[in-house]
Structure 1
Amino acid sequence: MTTNEESELFRQIVVPHLADALALARWLTGSLHDAEDVVQEASIRAFSAIGSYEGRGQRAWLLSIVRNTCFTWLAKNRPKEIVLVGSAAEADGTELALQEDPGLDPEAELIQRADTAAVEAAIAALPQLYREVVVLHDINDLSYKEIAAMLSIPIGTVMSRLSRARRQIAMQIGRPS
């Protein structure tokens, strides 16, 4: 495969999913700056491996590379404790977006922001194994099968981790599951 063919394949497979890659790296590292470094390294790895891409699950393939790169980077650069700062809106590089509802009064807007912040804090407080599954499934919209393949675990384990994570989130924000 020539460099031009590899570059075109990279543009088709990787580039459309870079925002998701950055969001995942942001959730895992807790820092936009660190996430950018991780995604850059993951992009280099993806480009190097583009010739071995098998044609299935572009997004899952890239996010798997980002996840592995992230854990390698964290092992080199951070203590074992990972703490998320900021919000999910910052993680994907956007402002906190409220639904545009002309009938939304300032009080309702404040409650909506507080609810969003509470959920984000609850996700950030999850143990890494649970947080990872929640982010991959509920935020990045990957299927159980894609997550299981990415993490090399059975689908049942994905489902049980997701269930436990959701239960912990509900307890954290004070709502029964």
Structure 2
Amino acid sequence: MATSILEARFRELILPHLDSAFNLACWLTHNRDDAQDVVQEAAMRAYKYFAGFHGDDGRVWLLRIVRNTFYSWCRVNGAASQTEFDETLHSLDPSGDAWPEQARATPEALLMRQDCDRVVHQALAALPLEFREVVVMRELEDLSYKEIAAIVGIPIGTVMSRLGRGRKLLARSLGATLGGNDGA
């Protein structure tokens, strides 16, 4: 009976966050297949150790396991994956609020948006891992500084510092790519 309650709690607290886990793994590995492997291993670890989980925020706990699994995976498979970044995997939803309805309607606008998305994702993918992971967690997963600190295992001040430096590197890269001011 206790096992079914534990399994129900696992389904309720952990399984809804598999998409976030996969998104983080994709940004860390740069490869959809490797990300699937990392998330599968992380989900198995989460299930195995779930009886020891006593919190209510399964998302933070699962993302920390994904991150730790990624670093373990890197040790086994060598350095972080050097596979080419898959822009279609990380493309933004074209129905997002960032673009007005009329701007999404024309083929030219769609091409401009796709090119902008591609440039931003390439710049984000090029960030050093320690900055990329906090930027992804904050900007794409909308996690708080406290949640990121818990996942990465660093103080909140370090999260803020890495996020600030990551944003500056991203802005500099985008400025150089788009031919604008690099912010220096």
**Alignment partner, residue 37 of structure 2:** 37
Cα deviation digits, residues 28-55 of structure 1 (max 9, x gap): 1111111111111111110111111122
Alignment correspondent of 2:166: 165
**Counterpart contact for 1:24–1:135, Cα < 8 Å:** yes
Q: CA RMSD in A?
A: 2.0
Structure 2 runs not aligned, ≥5 long: none
- Offset, 1:24: 0.6
Matching residue's letter, 2:151:
M
Between the aligned partners of 1:62 and 1:146, the Cα distance in structure 2 is 11
Residue identity over aligned pairs, in percent, reads 43
Q: What amino acid is aligned across from residue 70 of structure 1 in structure 2?
A: F
- The alpha-carbon deviation at position 79 of structure 1 amounts to 2.4
| Contact 1:25-1:39 at 8 Å conserved across structures | yes
Sort the Cα spacing of 1:81 and 1:73 in 2 relative to 1 into closer, same or farther, 3 A.
closer
Separation (CA, whole Å) in 2 of partners of 1:108 and 1:125? 26
CA-CA distance at 1:13 after TM superposition: 1.1
What's 1:98 paired with? 94
1:83–1:154 distance in 2 versus 1, CA, 3 Å: farther
**Residue 149 (structure 1) aligned with residue 150 (structure 2):** yes
Please give the alpha-carbon distance, in whole angstroms, between the structure 2 residues aligned to 1:151 and 1:62: 12
- For the pair 1:59 / 2:59, whether they are aligned, the reply is yes
Q: Distance in 1 between matches of 2:142 and 2:84?
A: 20
Q: Are the counterparts in 2 of residues 9 and 50 from structure 1 also a CA contact under 8 Å? A: no
Name the structure 2 match of 1:108: 109
Gaps of 5+ in 1: none
Alpha-carbon deviation of 1:80? 4.5
Distance 1:96 1:158, change over 3 A: closer
